[in-house]
């Protein structure tokens, strides 16, 4: 798996995050774009934007076996809410979200005024837009009195970004956020970073066999849910 990435609704927390942001598609981009066989033709994002919301892709791009990098930012960049207690609540609710909406999370990092997570669908019934709304709603009491920005930002990974030799770049881009922010020298030392694979608590992104275990479990779950 690889560093940050699609786009949609939330303001970018800072300029360092923008390198992973998907740009609005135009005719010059499309010639080289690889579509999944069962995917609809990519639409102009602004076709799905409503007043007061940033644009998103069509709903079907967030369903099934999509890989989506989500950024959830706190309104007015408020700080002071991130502590071990919130992290515990986050992991608890993320686990429920993954189990309920048939996802796994290869990487997340909680920053002082926003958070990142990469989610991957493991069944045809997965729906990440519903999952993120569920997660934001149930995290709101732990976040109070501050609250989320109105809409989460997303980047739906393209086929080439989610390949086995490319995904680590997305994943480590996410994990390196606290390093770029000057909070730690190594992301492995940052306490508010990890992954979530329901039923497999031994999978640890800091372990040497992380990628071997993660891909093995991912493919197993996809096969199991397809049968």
Q: Which two tokens stand for residue 82?
A: 């991130």
Sorting pLDDT into bands at 50, 70 and 90, what band is 54? low
Q: Which two tokens stand for residue 196?
A: 């979530």
Does a structural domain hold residue 166? Answer: yes
pLDDT in tens, 167-226: 999 999 999 999 999 999 999 999 999 999 999 999 999 999 999 999 999 999 999 999
Sorting pLDDT into bands at 50, 70 and 90, what band is 3? very low
pLDDT value of position 36: 43
Does a structural domain hold residue 100? Answer: yes
Q: If you search the block for the tokens 């998103």, which residue do you land on?
A: 56
Does a structural domain hold residue 109? Answer: yes
Neighbours of 159 (CB within 10 A): 14
CA proximity to 118, closest of 196, 54, 45 = 196
| Element of type H or E holding 103 | strand 103-110
Does a structural domain hold residue 85? Answer: yes
What CATH number corresponds to the domain at position 191?
A: 3.30.70.1290
Q: Coil, helix or strand for 101?
A: helix
Can you tell me the distance from the alpha carbon of 108 to that of 118, in angstroms, rounded to the nearest whole number?
6
What total number of domains does the chain contain?
1
Tell me the backbone φ, ψ of residue 104, rounded to 5 degrees: -130, 155
Q: Coil, helix or strand for 150?
A: coil
CA proximity to 194, closest of 133, 105, 120, 122 = 105
Does a structural domain hold residue 65? Answer: yes
Does a structural domain hold residue 126? Answer: yes
Strands (E) in 151-225, as ranges, are 153-156, 193-196
Burial environment of residue 214 by CB neighbours within 10 A (0 to 12, 13 to 18, 19 or more): buried
Under 8 Å between Cβ of 120 and 218: yes
Q: Which domain holds residue 66?
A: 56-226
Does a structural domain hold residue 92? Answer: yes
Does a structural domain hold residue 34? Answer: no
pLDDT in tens, 214-225: 999 999 999 999
């Amino acid at each position: 798996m690889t560093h940050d990435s699609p786009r949609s609704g939330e303001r970018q927390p800072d300029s360092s995050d923008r390198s992973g942001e998907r740009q609005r598609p135009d005719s010059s981009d499309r010639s080289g774009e690889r579509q999944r066989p069962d995917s609809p033709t990519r639409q102009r994002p602004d076709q799905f934007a409503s007043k007061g919301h940033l644009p998103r892709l069509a709903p079907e791009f967030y369903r099934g076996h999509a890989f989506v990098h989500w950024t959830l930012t706190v309104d007015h960049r408020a700080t002071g809410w991130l502590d071990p207690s919130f992290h515990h609540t986050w992991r608890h609710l993320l686990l429920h979200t993954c189990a309920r909406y048939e996802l796994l999370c290869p990487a997340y990092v909680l920053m002082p005024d926003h958070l990142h997570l990469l989610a991957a669908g493991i069944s045809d019934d997965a729906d990440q837009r519903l999952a993120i709304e569920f997660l934001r709603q149930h995290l709101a009491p732990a976040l109070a009195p501050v609250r989320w920005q109105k809409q989460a930002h997303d980047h739906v990974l393209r086929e080439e970004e989610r390949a086995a030799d490319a995904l680590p770049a997305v994943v480590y881009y996410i994990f390196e956020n606290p390093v770029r922010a000057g909070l730690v020298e190594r992301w492995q030392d940052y306490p508010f970073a990890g992954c979530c694979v329901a039923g497999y608590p031994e999978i640890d992104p800091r372990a040497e066999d992380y990628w071997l275990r993660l891909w093995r479990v991912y493919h197993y779950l996809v096969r199991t849910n397809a049968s």
